[in-house]
């Protein structure tokens, strides 16, 4: 993952987006999860990829104490496979699943090539891999850290910045 994909959070009664002097919005780059959900039962909306409009409702079910030496953020459970990038949101993903399940479909071979798989059974939409989810989280934290570091090496003029719960040095 070379860069962070566009993602926007929508807590109740507040919208976080890139700052625009014409609109009363908040800078989402400075938001943390604790700004959005502090207590069990709190929730917020999350939109990933404006083009495909992947909308998620996030519910803080349980607060768990961090363990010393643990890697955070961490996924502890989940359901279903991650849809491929740029597959057209929910309708496009549903269509992709149907196409992969039908070897006689006109677009079947094109979709196999696009996904880099040999047959439609190689992509299981019901499969969830917690280890893969954590590798993706690690890559996202690394990408966010690189963005913070690109503005200069640590040292004078730098301050610690919290990126997805990880302290990184960023320009002051």
Kindly report, residue by residue over 54-85, the tens digit of the pLDDT.
888 888 888 888 888 888 888 888 898 888 88
pLDDT at 134 (0 to 100): 92
pTM: 0.60
β partners of residue 58 = 44
pLDDT at 135 (0 to 100): 92
Task: Pick 142 or 149 by higher pLDDT.
Answer: 142
Q: Which two tokens stand for residue 134?
A: 């954590």
pLDDT at 127 (0 to 100): 93
Residue given tokens 């959005």 in the structure block: 36
Mean pLDDT of the chain, nearest integer: 76
- Highest mean pLDDT (candidates 2-11, 18-27, 40-49, 146-155): 40-49
Q: In sequence order, which residues have a C-beta less than 8 Å from that of residue 107 and are 6 or more positions away? A: 99
What whole-number distance in Å separates Cα of residue 75 and Cα of residue 135? 10
pLDDT at 148 (0 to 100): 63
DSSP code, position 154: S
Give me the helices (H) in the chain, please.
33-36, 89-101, 108-115, 130-149
What whole-number distance in Å separates Cα of residue 120 and Cα of residue 135? 24
In the chain, domain spans? 1-63
* Residue 94: strand, helix, or coil: helix
Give the β-pairing of 26-27 and 158-163: unpaired
Closest CA to 130 of 69, 65, 80: 80
């Amino acid at each position: 993952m070379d860069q962070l994909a566009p993602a926007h959070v929508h807590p109740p009664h507040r919208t976080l987006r890139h700052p625009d002097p014409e609109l009363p919005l908040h800078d989402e780059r400075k938001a943390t999860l604790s700004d959005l959900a502090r207590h069990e039962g709190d929730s917020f909306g999350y939109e990933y990829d404006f083009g495909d409009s992947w909308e998620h409702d996030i519910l803080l079910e349980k607060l768990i104490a961090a363990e010393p030496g643990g890697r955070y953020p961490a996924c502890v459970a989940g359901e279903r496979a991650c849809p491929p990038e740029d597959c057209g949101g929910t309708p496009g993903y549903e269509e992709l699943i149907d196409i992969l399940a039908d070897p006689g479909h006109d677009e079947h071979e094109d979709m196999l090539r696009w996904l880099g798989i040999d047959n439609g059974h190689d992509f299981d939409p019901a499969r969830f891999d917690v280890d893969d989810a954590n590798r993706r989280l690690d890559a996202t934290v690394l990408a966010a850290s690189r963005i913070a570091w690109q503005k200069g090496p640590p040292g004078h003029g730098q301050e610690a910045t919290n990126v997805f719960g990880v302290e990184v040095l960023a320009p002051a």
